[in-house]
């Protein structure tokens, strides 16, 4: 029986018919994946850090005083060896390293390990001064450096193992998504593009009047939020995600959060501001009312000038260091097939200005003329032409593409100021013509890059829409820290060669 109100925590809350009439569509059992216990995983990291604290303290003391006098001339070194296994993981915990949302994604975990090392060093200096024990600076430096290095290696190894378990069907959190059709489908698609997040959707709740889609026999009509939560528990979900604000009012959302307390279900709310993340979104409480403050994008200022200076400096240094590599590749390209060493193509850059992009030639001469005969074999859904087994690519060209060596001449583009080391993908004029008006203006506010989110996320394996989305995501959330993360991931992407053809 459909009621016009839902009783949450003993208070009758009137709900509009739109919020009451819902269709619940759980995922089939075989799609739910195996659950990974984040608690056990964090405990494993904690045990590893305890061992690391022990090993690092012993290593520092033995390195300073030798094996014959391992504990040094003071009882303080004995205390250091005993306390370090507890102090080091405690410092990591204080810095938030073991927080649940840092598992499986992001680089903040590693930054917090480094920050914990600085605090650990400061604590040792202060304790040494207060106790007049004069702990050797060499012991402190070696010990803390070993703790940071070994913990970084341990946490990185743990993350890689965790990603491996997620790739074979595991999930850290099992989500039940509530919202209108557009909001739910958009959020589910976004989660599906980020498997390393460890979040797996095990069911959705759509507003009434929307097609239940593939729900089939799983479609169930429910009349209250309480029953929806029962369905979430039945799907073995541990997280309820509200996609935007199209379904629940502020009062209803607050009641929902109260009703989830003590159930083991946590609540996530998507703000409805797409492609914005990190420092651009700040919660500003005003008189108890939390407001989402969207900061202005950083297209100017000291950070922007720093990026430009680093681009030119790194390009100049790389031109000198890689000159023997340039020469070797140029000879290989020239000997592999007749034609020029470099391939030139017009691309669209900053503020819509066209420039000539440089690459090492990877195809036989006159490949552009053969494109018309291969159009039907295109494996890409955008204006670009992509084939995994393109017959026009030379053997040397295939090797260059495999490891992105064909893009090295773009360092000259960086040196001349038409490109950046990291940025959105340099688009063709045909691609820019397909952008909506507002997206076109926004997308061209930064210089295109040799590498970027598009390259570390799959390169040619991405659809055109996904590539555009990643480009816009970079533009909206650019920062020096994001560039550093992209550069690190680029090294892994180049070695793996995933999506390069």
Ranges of beta strands (E only) in 230-288 are: 239-243, 266-270, 281-286
144 vs 472 pLDDT, higher one? 144
430 vs 447 pLDDT, higher one? 447
Structure confidence by residue, pLDDT tens digits, 167-191: 777 778 888 888 777 778 778 877 8
Rg of the Cα atoms in the chain: 28
DSSP-assigned beta bridge partners for residue 345: 357
Going by their DSSP bridges, the two strands 239-243 and 266-270 should be labelled as parallel
Q: For 19-43, what is the HEC assignment?
A: HHCEEEEECCHHHCCEECCHHHHHH
Per-residue pLDDT, averaged over 216-240, amounts to: 64
The CATH architecture of the domain made up of 5-33+169-272 is: 3-Layer(aba) Sandwich (3.40)
Least confident segment among 39-43, 100-104, 380-384:
380-384
Among 454, 456, 475, 474, which residue's Cα sits nearest to residue 465?
454
Per-residue pLDDT, averaged over 476-481, amounts to: 81
Q: Please tell me the predicted confidence (pLDDT) of residue 357.
A: 95
Ranges of beta strands (E only) in 260-418 are: 266-270, 281-286, 289-294, 342-348, 354-360
DSSP-assigned beta bridge partners for residue 200: 174
pLDDT averaged over the chain? 77
Reported confidence tier of residue 323, pLDDT bands at 50, 70, 90: very high
Q: Please tell me the predicted confidence (pLDDT) of residue 2.
A: 33
Structure confidence by residue, pLDDT tens digits, 67-94: 666 555 567 778 888 889 999 999 999 9
Per-residue pLDDT, averaged over 198-205, amounts to: 82
Domain boundaries, the chain: 5-33+169-272, 38-167, 302-496
Structure confidence by residue, pLDDT tens digits, 87-112: 999 999 998 888 877 776 666 788 88
470 vs 19 pLDDT, higher one? 470
pTM above 0.75, yes or no: no
Q: How far apart are the first and last CA of the chain?
A: 58
Per-residue pLDDT, averaged over 12-35, amounts to: 49
């Amino acid at each position: 029986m459909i009621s016009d109100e839902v009783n949450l925590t003993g208070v009758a809350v009137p709900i509009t018919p739109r919020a009451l009439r819902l269709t619940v569509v759980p995922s089939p059992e075989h799609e739910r994946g195996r659950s990974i216990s984040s608690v056990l995983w964090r405990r494993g990291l904690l045990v590893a850090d305890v061992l690391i604290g022990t090993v690092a303290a012993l290593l520092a003391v033995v390195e300073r005083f030798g094996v014959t006098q391992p504990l040094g001339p003071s009882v303080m070194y004995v205390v250091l060896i005993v306390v370090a296994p507890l102090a080091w993981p405690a410092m990591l915990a204080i810095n938030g390293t073991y927080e649940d949302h840092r598992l499986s994604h992001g680089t903040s975990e590693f930054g917090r390990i480094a920050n914990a090392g600085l605090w650990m060093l400061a604590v040792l200096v202060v304790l040494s001064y207060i106790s007049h024990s004069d702990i050797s600076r060499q012991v402190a430096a070696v010990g803390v450096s070993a703790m940071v290095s070994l913990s970084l290696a341990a946490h990185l190894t743990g993350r890689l193992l965790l990603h491996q378990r997620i790739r074979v069907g595991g999930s850290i959190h099992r989500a039940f998504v509530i919202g209108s059709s557009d909001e739910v489908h958009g959020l589910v698609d976004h989660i599906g593009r980020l498997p390393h997040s460890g979040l797996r959707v095990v069911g959705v709740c759509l507003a009434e009047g929307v097609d239940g889609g593939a729900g089939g026999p799983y479609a169930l009509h429910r009349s209250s939020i309480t029953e929806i939560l029962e369905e979430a528990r039945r799907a073995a979900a541990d997280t309820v995600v509200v996609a935007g604000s199209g379904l629940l009012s502020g009062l209803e959302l607050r009641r929902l959060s109260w009703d989830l307390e003590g159930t083991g279900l946590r609540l996530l709310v998507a703000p409805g501001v797409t492609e914005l993340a990190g420092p651009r979104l700040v919660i500003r409480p005003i008189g108890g009312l939390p407001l989402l403050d969207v900061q202005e994008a950083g297209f100017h200022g000291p950070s922007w000038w720093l990026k430009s200076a680093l681009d030119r400096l790194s390009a100049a240094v790389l031109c000198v260091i890689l000159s023997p590599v340039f020469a070797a590749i140029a000879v290989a390209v020239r000997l592999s097939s007749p034609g020029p060493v470099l391939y030139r193509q017009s691309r669209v850059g900053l503020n819509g200005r066209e420039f000539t992009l440089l690459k090492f030639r990877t195809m036989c001469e006159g490949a552009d003329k053969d494109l018309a005969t291969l159009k039907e074999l295109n494996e890409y859904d955008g204006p670009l032409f992509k084939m995994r087994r393109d017959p026009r690519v030379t053997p040397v060209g295939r090797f260059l593409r495999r490891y992105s060596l064909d893009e090295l001449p773009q360092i000259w583009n960086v040196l001349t100021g038409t490109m950046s080391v990291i940025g959105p993908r340099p688009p063709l004029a045909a691609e820019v013509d397909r952008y909506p008006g507002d997206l076109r203006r926004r997308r061209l506010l930064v210089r295109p890059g040799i590498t970027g989110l598009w390259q570390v996320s799959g390169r040619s394996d991405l659809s055109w829409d996904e590539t555009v989305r990643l480009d816009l995501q970079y533009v909206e959330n650019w920062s020096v820290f994001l560039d550093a993360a992209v550069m690190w991931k680029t090294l892994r992407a180049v070695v793996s060669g995933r999506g390069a053809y």
